[in-house]
Chains A and B, each alone.
Chain A
Amino acid sequence: MSSFTVVNHPISRIDATTKVTGRAEFADDLAFDRMLYGQVLRAKYPHAKILELDTRKAEEAPGVAAVITYADISGAQAIGPVRPDMPIFVSTRTMYLGDAIAMVVAETPEIANRALDLIRVEYEELPTIFDVEEAVSEGALQLHKDYPGNIVNHYPLRKGNVEEGFKASDVILERTYTTQLIEHAYIEPEAAVAVPGSVDGNVTIYGSIQNPFTARRHVAQVLGVSLNRVRIIQCAMGGSFGGKDDVVSAVCARAAVAALKTGRPVKVVYTREESLIESYKRHPYVMKYKVGATRDGRLLAMEIYILADAGPYSSMTPFVTWRSVVQATGPYEVPNVKTDVYGVYTNNTYTGAMRGFGSPQIIFAQESLMDELAKELGMDPLEFRLKNAFKQGSVTASGQVLDEHTVSLMNVIKKATEAIGYSEKQRAYAKNKTARGKVRGVGFAASYRGVSLGAEGVDAAGALVSVQPDGSVYLHSGLAENGQGLKTIFSQIAAEELGCRFEDIVFMDTDTSVIPDSGATVASRSTTMGGSAVRDAAKKVREVLFGVAAELLNAPHEEITAAGGKMYVNEDPARCVDFRDVARAAYGKGQLMAALGWYQAPKVSWDEKTGQGKAYFTYVYGCQVAEVEVDCDTGQVKVLKVVAAHDVGRAINPATVEGQIYGGVTMGMGYGILEEVELQDGVTKTRNFDEYLIPTSMDVPEIVPIIVENPDSYGPYGAKTIGEPTCELLAPAIANAVYNACGKRIRRLPLDLERVLLGYSLRAARGKRGSEQA
């Protein structure tokens, strides 16, 4: 049994009732008096000079209030989380098909839509570049003059001496793996409403916004106003997965410019097609791995060269690829490492943050490679991994000693593989030599993952707990609900600390005018960072209430404790007083019952030149095993069963943790066998869910979640993270299972019919996107 009252229990989600009744307010559900609707005109060619832009006819159309272009922007023309290189509206040159050129604002969406046809744009097409290897080659077209070689960023990592490592190796393997362009596919497309404020120059924006503070910064920059002139209120989010960040900042900025120009509220809602064309995606990677090992299966050296397709804008590429360089060797001890990761500019759709954040790609490569190497050595893939796996005190590729948390890698691998009977099945299925009909296979993948931002950025978060005179509680957080259940677990933490009833807490939607900037709800950092801030705030308020309870109960302050809506004397629980009465009394005494909590991440470090340092303050470990059935005649891969073991530190809410596992595994399956945004010479071909296939209820396998708890010294109650690791492991597990089933090694995602049957994709052969032949 858990020693907690609220935390560590599978409590129902705090937002469940509003969501099942249809009352939860999503951005498109909002309506304001005199509201206008914006529709965006986008580029006709992925790379072209704009010779002329004439919006007059559209402006004069009946029902059109305004047409907004770059000329209406008084502040920053371009935004970006790292480098401001993504224009709100392009002025002279389009860089990809999703670039916005103008936005018509009209009385109805239909009028705005029709008016788009009245805008005349004259283009001169420019040479294009869609292939990362071509982009970094000598003499390639240069997309940004300040970034020669089309290099967004380069992260080197050097440990030991790889030449010597390879010299001492008995077996050396060189392999290239590639991954595809992936859409977040949140079911709610982008949406925001900007309302010109009552105070001059102010604007309030309601939207489907993953990171309210990022959106506020970008909107303020574009408007050329100070931060306190822009207020962002987050609506219910219809999914994000990393996706409603920069692209939504742009949506908000356009709506804000239009609202201030017209003096009326402006709503912008994308269709699925617009979302697929404009929004950033998960990076496709080309990954060249060279690995050396001794005959008895000890890893000696790894040399890794990675090109990540950033598209034309830097977005989160420098952060995404940084996680890749840290984790590229996988959770294994490798004494000699040389890694180089490059973000590369192209004219493909730009790429940024998506659940996993630079890990799903490298894990596909490294975990496929581990199986390939085991095969080469004649070893069992499990035995081979366990021989090299991180244990307590292991040293990572960046030279970090893993000794501040429980290194549970072996444990999760054993738990997951045993639960499915991996070893016996793997041996039995490997004997299968038919090349016809349906055959089965098993495969697994393991990973370690740094928690929160690491040496990527400023890492701090805030929360505000305010107890009302009747004992009810407001909770505000700087980190925002994305659908993952943050409101629920933060409320559980607050209730646990305060000792109040969970039902007495109301979690307020994140409002930038109320709570300090807490950075972004990314990197699976919310539980560790925001949860700790909530705990800090609640503790401060509790101290005040304990003082009052001590007086009421006539007992020393130190002996007061609280749980389940009561405050009582530790040794004598019968001497108790209701939490609400304590609040009433505290209010009567004029005591402050609100507090701001703050949490700053422990120190981390990174040397940009050598790639050495303490990259993250703590790590989680995970292992997923897949059992598949391959139809040798059609190439179809069916995933039958998945076991997913994840060390989460501590599960604040086991039901939402399981929900994260089911959802992440399913998304990982889509990555493995179904999904790909198809670009043909920069033009998006997959524009809706009839072509971009995500898993349906008919596709999902049996999923067995295994939650492993090893309380961490940093997170609240020892909690770490769960959102992202669940989604990074299944694709390589499936690839390994397919190999086990039919002896075909597929080194490019997704493992769709054609690749499994023919070894290459018929679709991709049509377009110029590179690396397919590799």
Chain B
Amino acid sequence: MKKAEPKHKRLISFTVNGDDIEVEISASDRLIDVLRNKLRLTGTKEGCGIGECGACTVLMDGAPVNSCLVPAFQAEGSVIETVEGLDASGKLHPLQEAFVEHTAIQCGYCTPGMLMSALALLREHPEPTREEITRAISGNLCRCTGYHQIIAAIEDASAKMKTTE
């Protein structure tokens, strides 16, 4: 077997969950590839690769993005947040707690993306209406739960985050 030819590589740096990262990427790498394969942050999932399912949702400079659609080089200089950062303090984030309490999880494959979309929403609108919650997660497909317990969990988390403020 011959060796694979070296491809065009470059270094980029950005912040992931508060850590400064420098990583070598190739031109075709997507943000999700860098997160999952290079940084081994495998909490972010891939379900479609075309921006339809939301399993790959992460926050980029505070906004939810489909990391399967973001070319890795675009992450240069940005602040990325993934599900692994939610309990960085060693304690579950109120959103995570609410998902646990409300059985808002079945297979759990959509869960990381759901949580990140919900987090972006609650930062923007700490007291969202049910309508706003439904809209905020409408790009996150879940085949298991029928969304009801997820919406209830997000409502509950928003209430709890308010009282602890």
Contacts and interface: CB of A to CB of B under 8 A. Distances in A.
Nearest to A667: B143
A189 B137 contact: no
Contacts of B45: 26, 187-188, 238
A21 B84 contact: yes
Given A20-B96, A483-B108, A689-B53, A696 B141 contact: yes
A236 B105 CA distance: 13
Interface in B129-165: 134-135, 137-151
Nearest to B42: A29
B49 A271 contact: yes
A65 B4 CA distance: 11
A367 to B, nearest CB: 21
B2 interface: yes
B4 A272 contact: no
A769 B81 CA distance: 47
Nearest to B117: A697
A427 to B, nearest CB: 30
Contacts of B42: 22, 25-26, 28-29
Given A19-B105, A698-B138, A187 B110 contact: yes
B27 to A, nearest CB: 11
Interface in A644-685: 655-656, 658-659, 661-667
A188 B49 contact: no
B107 A700 contact: no
Contacts of B96: 17, 20-21
Given A22-B83, A662-B146, A656 B108 contact: no
A24 interface: yes
B151 A697 contact: yes
Given A12-B103, A21-B92, A698-B138, A31 B40 contact: yes
B64 interface: no
A656 B3 CA distance: 51
Contacts of B67: none
Contacts of B41: 22
Contacts of A236: 107-108
Contacts of A655: 102-103, 149
Nearest to B7: A110
A655 B105 CA distance: 11
A696 B115 contact: no
A239 B143 CA distance: 8
B143 A241 contact: yes
Contacts of A666: 145-147
A13 interface: yes
Contacts, number: 190
Given A187-B109, A698-B135, A656 B103 contact: yes
Interface string B32-65: 0000100011111111111011010000000000
A17 B47 contact: no
B23 interface: no
Nearest to B99: A20
Contacts of B144: 239, 483-484, 659, 663
Contacts of A63: 1-4
A263 B64 CA distance: 42
Contacts of B142: 187, 697
Nearest to B86: A21
Nearest to B84: A22
Nearest to A670: B143
A116 interface: no
Given A13-B105, A238-B108, A694 B4 contact: no
A578 interface: no
Contacts of A696: 138-139, 141
Nearest to B111: A19
Contacts of A184: 143
Contacts of B28: 110
A187 B55 contact: yes
A26 B83 CA distance: 15
Contacts of A25: 42
B146 A703 contact: yes
A734 to B, nearest CB: 15
Contacts of B47: 187-189, 238, 272, 689
B107 A272 contact: no
Nearest to B82: A22
A110 B4 CA distance: 11
Interface residues of A, number: 66
Given A20-B115, A108-B4, A187 B53 contact: yes
A771 B84 CA distance: 50
A185 interface: yes
A3 B92 CA distance: 32
B71 to A, nearest CB: 15
Interface in A1-43: 10, 12-13, 15-26, 28-29, 31
B156 to A, nearest CB: 13
Contacts of A28: 42, 46
B106 A484 contact: yes
Contacts of B86: 20-21
Nearest to B151: A697
Most buried by A among B83, B101, B106, B107: B107
Nearest to B4: A63
Contacts of A15: 105, 108
Nearest to B142: A187
Contact of A272 (B48, B84, B109): B48
A663 B108 contact: no
A12 B144 CA distance: 16
Contact of B106 (A108, A483, A690): A483
Contacts of B105: 13, 15-16, 19-20
B144 to A, nearest CB: 5
Contacts of B140: 697
A237 to B, nearest CB: 6
B21 interface: no
A664 B140 CA distance: 18
B5 interface: yes
Contacts of A23: 43
A661 B115 CA distance: 22
The residue in B45, B105, B110, B143 that gathers the most chain A C-beta atoms within 10 A of its C-beta is B143
A13 B111 CA distance: 14
A695 B149 CA distance: 15
A13 B103 CA distance: 7
Nearest to A690: B52
A482 interface: yes
Nearest to A666: B146
A44 to B, nearest CB: 22
B100 A17 contact: yes
A237 B107 CA distance: 6
Contact of B112 (A10, A22, A237, A703): A22
B52 A688 contact: yes
Contacts of B138: 696-698
Interface in B1-35: 1-5, 28
Given A21-B83, A108-B4, A187-B53, A662 B92 contact: no
Contact of A689 (B48, B100, B110, B134): B48
B124 interface: no
Q: Closest 3 interchain pairs by CB?
A: A22-B43, A483-B107, A238-B109
Interface of A: 10, 12-13, 15-26, 28-29, 31, 60, 62-65, 107-108, 110-111, 184-189, 236-241, 271-272, 482-485, 655-656, 658-659, 661-667, 688-690, 694-698, 700, 703
6 contacts: A19-B111, A22-B84, A63-B3, A187-B53, A187-B142, A659-B145
Given A62-B3, A666-B146, 8 more contacts: A19-B111, A29-B42, A187-B110, A236-B108, A688-B52, A690-B50, A697-B140, A698-B135
